[in-house]
Structure 1
Amino acid sequence: MPKVSDGHPSYLVVNADESEPEICKDKEIMRQVHKLLDGCLIAGVGMRASAAYIYIRGEYVNERKNLERARKEAYEAGLLGKNACASGYDFDVHIHFGAGASFVVNKQHFWRALKENKGNQDWSLLSLLMQDYMAVQLQSQMLETVAVSPTILRRGPEWFSSFGRKNNSGTKLFCV
């Protein structure tokens, strides 16, 4: 994201599509949906985003329902929405589930994934993007990156970098 805002809105896009063959790490991470929502808020504040859009694989029905339930709880508790966490910062989280493998890595992929998924359109997002498509700032992140950020901030970067080897530190979830 640009260090200085150009006045256009910024959004965080979280890729939970998991379209890589034989990988199920996102599904495992989404069992702790509150960490994901916390990570969205932390990343959103850091990049001056007004909202996060989580693009979740359509086949992950239970995970989506759990995420929607957690999101509702977070709004009710005042952790998301207007004045999120009583901080004066407004931040919304939207969930969009796909109809197949659409890998969302940038504006063009995100736009195409929304347009091609006729069964589940978030019309408010579509109209927003259509109004000012090229000016909107999108930052796409993988689910794993966003979900681990609250733990890194709580325990510190030294803790995170204590795992692994020099120049290749931190944790990584693999599916074998």
Structure 2
Amino acid sequence: MPGRPLSRRTTLGSALAAPLALAACDIDPPPRESESSPATPPPPEDSALVAAVVAALVRAQSVLDAAAAAVPSLADRLGPVRTAHAEHLEVLVGAVPEADLPTAGAVSVPAQILPALGAVRRSEQRLQREVREGCLAAASGDLARVLGSIAASTSQHSAALATEVTS
């Protein structure tokens, strides 16, 4: 059943209200800093949070590396995820330069494609949970935004891996 046609008054009111509604939104990203400027260190209360997220990223990256080693044909599929994690690590480690980069323990991944992808997907889901919790716990708005971006990236990669596991 077709909807009611809009009256001239409704159309005009909507047209006038739209710029006001859009002007009230402040979703523009902050201006980019120059490439040479160092990352802003998080407040002291966020340092432990950054260290925990860095450890989670290192753990997830070790699962990706183990999966690519166990099933070499997965290396291309996992490449974008590995690249994203490396970039996220670079940002977070740059924010806390005095912290040591943790090492992950040995990871065992099955040598078959579907079980290996399943292990990667579970690892990515765990990472996403940890980053999302960190986003909520961050005292710094800048850190919360960075962690939100990492959570969104991880969510997209997890969704892509889920479709690959079932296909």
Q: Larger % of strand: which? A: 1
TM range (shorter): under 0.3
Q: With the length of structure 2 as denominator, give the TM-score of the two structures.
A: 0.27
* Higher relative contact order structure (alpha carbons within 8 Å, sequence separation ≥ 6): 1
- Which one has the largest radius of gyration? 2
Q: Larger % of helix: which? A: 2
Q: With the length of structure 1 as denominator, give the TM-score of the two structures.
A: 0.26
